[in-house]
Structure 1
Amino acid sequence: MLCCAAQAQTPTAAPMAPVAHGGLAHSGLAHHGLAQALDAAWQRTQAGTEAAAARERAAAARLAADSLLPAPPALELNHRSDRWHKDTGALENEVGLALPLWLPGQRAARQAAAASAATLAEADEGASRLQLAGEVREAAWAVAGLQAEAAVAQAQLGYLRDIATDVGRRVQAGELAHSDALAAEAEALAAEGALAEVRERLFAAQARWLALTGLDALPALDEAPAPASADALPAGHPALQRAAQAVDKARREVEVVRRDVIDAPELTVSYRREVAERGAAAERSLAFGLRLPFGGDARNRPLAAAAQGELAQAQAEEMRLRLQLEGDLAAARAGLDAARAQAAAAGKRTGLLRERASLIDKAFRAGEASLPELLLAANAAAQADAAMARQQAALGLARARLNQISGFLP
């Protein structure tokens, strides 16, 4: 039986195969999907910490905007005495409180900006998770494809070793020349080297997967395909939501600057106790005051220009991102169609070469075909099997990339 002709199926739930010199072992996590792998990767990445920090900043901004005062109050203490010159006993003590005041519409504008910042923090987390999902998908399919290649290379090695053993027996029986035994052994050694090369690449891919997710097993690549009828980007695309929310936040900041025309006015309330001269009765009074800072272009125009610049940049980034994603979506759909066609062609070619190798194998065992002819046919079938395994993984990756560009999380 032709061992190298065993069809390589795309692995969808297989654990990582152990490889030589510290390969990854099997794990109960093998039956978990990409969603669990994404969660594991999220816990290991700095993006999760940054998202939490952004939420904390947004919460702090909202707390400040909801405050009754735009800034903390200030305590004023004054003491006056003529002890060091006339020394008539004149004495004055004053304690006051300065209360910053909101300008008309300023508090509402800052509350709206704080709410927009909180929504942006959530949108930024969703976009970061989507970006990380792309890395997880790429890493998973890289391992899956190499696992399939390693399985094909292992089968080919086993087959060639069987051939070498059979040729050795026939050489001893005088049916084949010693050169045939050498050729068969050389082909088996070449297959052994090819298997080692594939395992080396597999080990590297597994190491990248382990560093990314912390999982020692490949999950089931079971995500649902993107809807075939969705030719446009979905409205809930995380990256587009983040860009749109960045525009909204910038617009809110423009409104904050428009309302914040001067520094905060201050209402002062003070209590004064004064004595005109030594022995005189103390007089007490309560005073109210209002401090109004001036604004002007020197203060306001740079702030307004900066806010408008941030808004224009956010709007341009949103447009650029939408155009880029639309182009990437069209390319991903075309790539998926091409991968399907290539996988179908690879499957047909593999079937033909496998059948041919099987026929030549039977003829060789019957003494009707030469060893070089058998080895050529076996190598061609094995190469076709490996190509089909790679193409099946490429097809799965093309589906995953379409989901990624469409904004769908695993």
Structure 2
Amino acid sequence: MAAWSIDPSRKSISTDATAAHKRASAARSWFPDGPILNGLYMDDHFIGSKVGYTTYQGEISVPLWLPGQGTATEDAALADEKVATHQMKVQRLATGVHVLELASEGAVLSARIANQEKVSDVLGRTMRDVEKALRAGEVSDTDYEATVTEKEDVDGMLAEARQHLENVRADLESLTGDDALPDLSGIDGRLLSRFDAQLNPERDPRIELADSVLKQARASYAVARHSYMPNPQVGVILSRQEQYDSPWDTQVGVQFQMPLPSEARNVPLVMKEVQAIGRAERDDTQAHRRIKAEYRQLRNQLTTATQILQHARELHIHSDRRANDLASAWQVGEIPVIEYLRARRTALTAAERYAQADIVMRAAIARMMLMSGNIP
């Protein structure tokens, strides 16, 4: 919601919708264009004539709608408004997905940092114990160097993860105005039943946008079909003639002008809209196929993420338990330190995999809710 409130494209799309609505209102007017004024003045004095012939003529005319043209123009404007409305929904969905991606990445990095900090502290104590054992001649230099190497490697990964997290926070702040990471821990399968979220591709805003663009193209084609010639004009003419001894000094008449249809004008106009319909049908079909496949992939991702999470949880529990057992065994001299270090690295990897699997599952649920229409 914070990201959407400051999204720069929101105002632009809203302006498009407002403009289209006003165009639809304007199409309900009686005439397709404003009145046309014409004036004429003629005087023979300019050529030196002695007859004294002067003519004043004024004309006002208005263009007329062609049959069905006004309704088609209004329908086209309403179609533009629907396109803008669906563009707003698509942009809102894109904003929600972008926030979710940053939140997921930040959550994974935060969990990784927490695990690495914990392991770094444990390895720090281990390194001090190995150093004491080295001075006492109980371990070799190789064991000490292996411990230092493992500690430095974990600290290096920790610094890199912190840097990546700061980058995510910076991106999140530019998107929402706040660098605080959204909490994904409360997102689970219960939310799907609470919001009655159903993955129906036909409810996806991107499908609705593609359908509305196709309807827009067909509406524009209807306008072109009903605009088979320039609009005819009808008007009133007032003419005053001043001539010596002339009995007709003032005249009033009706003027009508109707350009005839021309294939040179009509065919390119109509074919342009036919091409637009072809492109819109292509894009609509591709959108239905692509988004249907995306929904299937999302369902599979949620199922797979749940299974991976179960396996990662068991791996995390047992590898951490094994690392603790080997730590006790090393301290009493039953195993070399190198075996304990390997076990600790395995436990760290398992913990990171578990954290990532947990976030992936929650992100899949959140994305499912967004795509099913539950957008803030």
Same fold (TM over 0.5): yes
Give the distance between the partners of 2:289 and 2:373, measured in 1 at CA. Answer: 14
Of 386, 393, 397, the residue aligned with 2:363 is 397
Distance 1:325 1:408 in 2: 17
Match in the other structure for 2:171: 208
Aligned AA (2:243) = A
Question: Structure 1 pair 185/269, CA: closer, same or farther in 2 (3 Å)?
Answer: same
Q: Give the 3-state SS of the residue equivalent to 2:45 in structure 1.
A: coil
Alignment match, 2:294: 328
Matched, 1:357 2:331: no
Mapped contact 1:95–1:272 kept (Cα < 8 A): yes
Tell me, yes or no, if structure 1 residue 258 matches structure 2 residue 225: yes
AA at the equivalent of 1:149: R
Distance in 2 separating the partners of 1:224 and 1:167: 44
> How far is 1:249 from its partner?
1.7
Give the match's secondary structure for 2:358: helix
Deviation of the 1:217 alpha carbon: 0.8
Letter paired with 1:51: I
- 1:264-284 per-residue CA deviation (whole Å, 9 max, x = no partner) reads 11112122222112x878822
* Correspondences of 1:70-89 after superposition (within 5 Å): 70-85=32-47, 86-89=49-52
Identify which of 80, 87, 102 aligns with 2:65.
102
In 2, Cα distance between equivalents of 1:379 and 1:227: 37
Question: Do the aligned partners of residues 261 and 177 (structure 1) sit closer, same or farther apart at CA in structure 2, a change above 3 Å counting?
Answer: closer
1:299 match:
265
- Whether 2:28 is the aligned partner of 1:62: answer no
Q: Measure the CA separation in 2 of the matches of 1:276 and 1:214.
A: 80
Q: 1:68 to 1:223 in 2, by over 3 A?
A: farther
Determine if the alignment matches structure 1 residue 239 to structure 2 residue 239.
no
Q: 1:185 to 1:232 in 2, by over 3 A?
A: closer
Query: How far, CA to CA, are the matches of 2:54 and 2:211 in structure 1?
Result: 63
Q: Deviations over 1:145-168 (max 9, x none)?
A: 111111111111111112223334
TM superposition shift of 1:117: 1.3
Deviations 1:101-153 (A, max 9, x none): 11222211211211121111111111122223222221221111111111111
Secondary structure at the aligned position of 1:218 is classed as coil
SS of residue paired to 2:126: helix
| Matched position secondary structure for 1:84 | helix
* Aligned equivalent of 1:129: 92
Contact 1:232-1:326 within 8 A present in 2 as well: no
| Pairwise CA distance, 1:253 | 1.8
Residue aligned with 1:216, SS:
coil
After TM superposition, give the deviation of residue 172 of structure 1 in Å. Answer: 5.4
- Percentage of identical aligned residues: 25
- Assess if the C-alpha contact under 8 Å between 1:92 and 1:275 holds in 2: yes
Q: 1:271 aligns with which of 224, 233, 238?
A: 238
Contact 1:329–1:406 (CA<8 Å) still a contact in 2? no
Counterpart-to-counterpart distance in 1, 2:141 and 2:93: 60
Q: What amino acid does structure 2 have at the position aligned with 1:336?
A: L
Contact 1:328–1:405 (CA under 8 A) maintained in structure 2:
no
- Report the equivalent of 2:102: 139
In 2, Cα distance between equivalents of 1:161 and 1:124: 55
Q: Deviations over 1:7-29 (max 9, x none)?
A: xxxxxxxxxxxxxxxxxxxxxxx
Change (3 A) 1:223 1:265: farther
| Gap change, CA 1:120 and 1:96, over 3 Å in 2 | same
Indicate if the aligned counterparts of 1:325 and 1:405 stay in contact, CA closer than 8 A.
no
Task: Give the secondary structure class of the aligned counterpart of 1:235.
Answer: helix
Aligned to 1:290: 256
Q: Secondary structure at the match of 1:268?
A: strand
Q: Distance in 2 between matches of 1:406 and 1:329?
A: 10
The equivalent residue for 2:277 is 311
CA RMSD of superposed structures (Å): 2.6
- Which deviates more from structure 2 when the two are superposed, residues 240-249 or residues 202-211? 202-211
Would the alpha carbon gap of residues 142 and 298 (structure 1) be closer, same or farther in structure 2, given more than 3 Å must change? Answer: same
Correspondence for 2:77: 114
Please tell me whether the aligned partners of residues 4 and 95 of structure 2 are also in contact (alpha carbons under 8 angstroms): no
Q: Which has the higher contact order (CA 8 A, sep 6+)?
A: 1
8 Å CA contact 1:82, 1:90 repeated in 2: yes
Question: Given residue 285 of structure 1, which amino acid in structure 2 is its aligned partner?
Answer: Q
What's the CA shift for 1:395?
2.1
State the distance in 1 between where 2:44 and 2:332 align.
127
- Normalised TM-score (structure 2): 0.89
Q: Which runs of 5+ in 2 are unaligned?
A: none
Kept in 2: contact 1:357–1:377 (CA 8 A)? yes
How far the C-alpha of 1:406 sits from its partner, in A, is 4.4
Residues 81 and 89 in structure 1, CA contact (< 8 A), matched pair in contact too: yes
Task: Map residues 373-388 of structure 1 onto 2, 5 A cutoff.
Answer: 373-388=339-354
> How many residue pairs end up in the alignment?
371
Contact 1:153 1:191 in 2 (8 A): yes
Task: Report the equivalent of 2:4.
Answer: 39
